[in-house]
Chain A
Amino acid sequence: MSVESAAPGADIGAAPSVAKGETLLEVRGLKKYFPITAGVMIQRTIAEVKAVDGISFDIRRGETLGLVGESGCGKTTTGRCILQLDRPSEGAIIFDGVNLVELDQRALSPYRQKIQVIFQDPYSSLNPRLKIGTIIGEPMKVHNIEPNVNKRRARVSELLSICGLDPRFADRYPHEMSGGQRQRVGIARALSLNPQFIICDEAVSALDVSIQAQVINLLEDLREEFHLTYLFIAHDLSVVRHLCHRVAVMYLGKIVEFAECDELYDNPLHPYTQLLLSAVPIPDPVTESKREHKMLKGEVPSPINPPSGCVFHPRCPIAVEGCSGAIPELRELRPGHWVACTEV
C-alpha cells in the first residue's frame, strides 16, 4: 500500500514501523499544500506548492529522530504541521493517541504545552523589547502554570542555570547576549512548560562550531534529565549522526529513506542519500583525499510542479525509464531500513 495514497488515520503498512519502545508521535500521510493565488479583487488559486507530499513516520518516546534534507524539501513545514502552526492539508498527527488535526484551538492548548519548539535563528526568535526573564516566564503565565510572580521568577532562575546561563541574565535584553547564549534562552523557554516533545528546527545551525558543540551537549543532557523526545530538523548531516537515533531523509516533500542512524550512514541505499553524504566534506584531509566525490547534478526542481513518478528521477544517476511513471513506495530492504527506490 502506498504511503502517498493513505487516508488519514488509516492503518499504513508501508510506514516505518516501531521495533521497540513506545510510540509518542505518529505522522500519517501528512500533506501540506500552500496555494499560489492570483487576482486582485477575486483571489483564485492557480497552483499549489506541495511542501510536504504524503509522509509517514513514528517517533518513539525518548528518541531523537533526525529529519534531514536540503532547503525547500519540506522538513520545516513538517515540524510546523506537528506543532499545528500550519494546519495540514491532509493526514494525521497523532500525539500520545490523540489526533491533533481534529482538535480546535481550545482543545489544542494542553498539547501546546507538551510540544515545544526551538527555532534556528536566535536573533529573530526572541522579542528584542522583552527582558530574558519575561521571555522565559511568559509561557508559564499564558498557560497558567505558575501564576505567582515570585515563584515564576524562581523558576526562570532555575531554568537559566539548567541551560548553563547565569540567573542574573533574567534582567538583560536579548541584544546584550551572544548567539550561543540566545539559543540557550530559546531552550530555556521551550523547557519552561515541562514539555514531553521538542522540535529542534535547525537549532544549532547558526552557531559557531565551538559554541555549537556546547549546545549539542546541552540538548543531550536535557534529553536524559527530563526524558525528552526530540525531532531534530537539520541540514548538517554530521551533527545529525552524532545526536540522533534514527534518521529520515527528505527530498521534495517526500521521505526517500528512513533507518537507524549508523545503518543509514554506513549503508545509504537511496541514490539521493548516497550523493548527499558524498557532498559533505569530512574534517580530515587524509580521509578526504581518499574519498570518492560524487557530485549531484543540477538543482532541486520546483515543488509547484514536481517531476512525475519518483521526484528524484531527473537528477538520479541510476534512473531507468520506469522511474518517471510510478511513484516508488517505501520498502523495508533491511530490518528497519526503508527506501523509496525501485532500483536498489
Chain B
Amino acid sequence: MPRLLEIENLRTQFFTSAGTVRAVDGISYNVDEGEAAAIVGESGCGKSVSALSILRLIPDPPGRIVDGSIRFKGIDLLQLSDVEIRRVRGRRIAMVFQEPMTSLNPVLTIGLQLTETLTHHLGMTKEAARARAVELMGMVGISDPERRLSQYPHHFSGGMRQRVMIAMALCCEPELIIADEPTTALDVTIQAQILELMKDLTRRLGVALIIITHNLGVVARYADRVHVMYAGKIIEQGTARQIYHEPGHPYTIGLLHSVPRLDQPRKEKLAPIEGQPPDLARLDEGCAFRPRCRYAVERCATEIPPLEDMGDGHYSACWEKDKLPQPQRAAS
C-alpha cells in the first residue's frame, strides 16, 4: 500500500507558567492508504496532541509545533498557509472527537452542521447538500434521516451524535479520518456499534483511520498497526499481534498485565505498573519510564533509548528490549 501520511520527528510543546511542557517529543510514524493505525497510551501521554498537530489544531499560544514534518501525500502540512490547511481539514483529513456533545453546535440543526461542510468544501448547492446529507445519515445507520436533519443535537443520544460526527467526517470522502477516543463516552454495546460502523465504512471506502484510544481491547479488535506512547514519545511500534504477543517494552508489558481479561477466569492479582506517569514539564534525563520500570539498568538513567527495529517492522525504545521476559499469553 502506498504511503499516505509520514510523520517525522514531530515536537509539540506548550509554554506555560509551570515551564515548557514537551507534550509530543519527537515522534515518527507512517500511515498507509486504507490502514487502521492505533495510537495507544494513558492520559497525558501526548496522544491527542499528536493527532491535533496533524491538522494544526494546537492553540497558539500556549502551544506550538516546534519541529518536525508531517507529509500527507508528499505535501508538508506544517508548511501550508492557514488558507491552505483549511482546505485539508474536513476535506482530505477529517476528525472525530471524543465528546459528541461538545463538538456539535447546540444551537444549529444537525442538517445545517452536516451540509455546511458540503457547501463549503465541495461547493454544493443547498438542495444537493441536503440530499447528500440524507444519504450519509442513512449510511451511518440513522433512521428517518429527513426528519432528523431538522433536529438539534440535544434530540440525539450520545451514540446517535457520534454517528452524526462520523457522517460529518465522511461527507467529503476524506483519505484519512483521525478518531480521538471516539467511543470513550459511550456504553459498551454502543461502542461496539460505532466501531463496527467505522471499520466497515473505512474498509469499504478505502479511508485510512488513525484511532486514538486508551482501550487495549479496542486496539486489539480494530487496529492493524499500533503505536504505544508514553510521556510524549512512541516507545513501541508494531502490528497488533507483535505488540500483544511479543511486547518489546516494559511499559507495554505492564499495560497488558494491568487489564483483567473478560474471557479468562481470574488467576491471580493484577500486576500493575507502580507509581505515576511523569510530569511532562519536568522530565529527567534518560528514559521517562525508568522510575516505574522493573527492568531498568544504570544506562536508563542517563541515555534516552532510541526507537530501534527488533525485526519484522517491530520497534521498541528500550535498552533492555532483548532481555525482557515474554508474557505467557497462549496464542491459542
Contact = CB atoms under 8 A, between A and B. Distances in A.
Asked if A pairs with B, the answer is yes
A208 B244 contact: no
Given A71-B187, A210-B272, A288 B220 contact: yes
A281 B258 contact: no
B191 interface: yes
Given A213-B271, A217-B269, A299-B190, A283 B256 contact: yes
Given A241-B266, A293-B196, A283 B42 contact: no
A299 B159 contact: yes
B262 A217 contact: no
Contact of B42 (A209, A220, A279): A209
A262 B242 CA distance: 29
A280 interface: yes
A175 B217 CA distance: 31
Nearest to B192: A279
Contact of B220 (A275, A278, A282): A282
Interface string B123-152: 000000000000000000000000000000
18 contacts: A70-B188, A209-B259, A210-B42, A235-B188, A241-B260, A281-B192, A281-B217, A281-B218, A282-B217, A282-B263, A283-B256, A285-B241, A286-B241, A288-B221, A293-B196, A296-B189, A296-B192, A299-B159
A164 B265 CA distance: 27
Contact of B270 (A216, A235, A285): A216
A342 to B, nearest CB: 22
B302 interface: no
B288 to A, nearest CB: 14
Contacts of B273: 210, 213
A4 B217 CA distance: 37
Nearest to B190: A299
Q: Which 8 A-B pairs have the closest CB atoms?
A: A281-B217, A213-B272, A242-B260, A213-B258, A279-B192, A283-B216, A208-B42, A285-B240
Contacts of B329: 284
Give the bracket for the number of chain B residues in contact with chain A: 35 or more
Contacts of B332: 286-287
Interface in B248-276: 254-263, 265-266, 269-274, 276
B290 to A, nearest CB: 15
A239 interface: yes
A275 B192 CA distance: 10
Contacts of A261: 266
Contact of A281 (B214, B215, B331): B215
A295 B192 contact: yes
A217 B187 contact: no
A99 B257 CA distance: 42
A212 B258 contact: yes
A295 B262 contact: no
Interface string A227-260: 0000000010111011100000000000000000
B189 A276 contact: yes
A195 interface: no
A209 B258 CA distance: 6
Contacts of A243: 260
B263 A276 contact: no
A279 B241 contact: no
Give the bracket for the number of chain A residues in contact with chain B: 35 or more
Contacts of A307: none
Name the residue in A262, A282, A284 with the highest tally of chain B Cβ atoms < 10 Å from its Cβ.
A284
B20 interface: no
Given A213-B259, A238-B260, A286-B241, A280 B217 contact: yes
Contacts of B221: 281-282, 285, 288, 293
A127 interface: no
Contacts of B257: 213
Name the residue in A208, A216, A243, A277 with the highest tally of chain B Cβ atoms < 10 Å from its Cβ.
A208
A214 B274 contact: yes
B188 A279 contact: yes
B244 A283 contact: yes
Given A216-B270, A217-B269, A279-B189, A237 B262 contact: yes
Nearest to B260: A242
A70 B189 CA distance: 8
A286 B188 CA distance: 20
Given A285-B240, A286-B241, A299-B159, A242 B270 contact: yes
A208 B43 contact: yes
Nearest to A265: B262
A125 interface: no
A109 interface: no
B188 A276 contact: yes
B9 interface: no
A238 B263 CA distance: 8
Interface string B271-292: 1111011000000000000000
A180 interface: yes
Nearest to B267: A242
A178 interface: yes
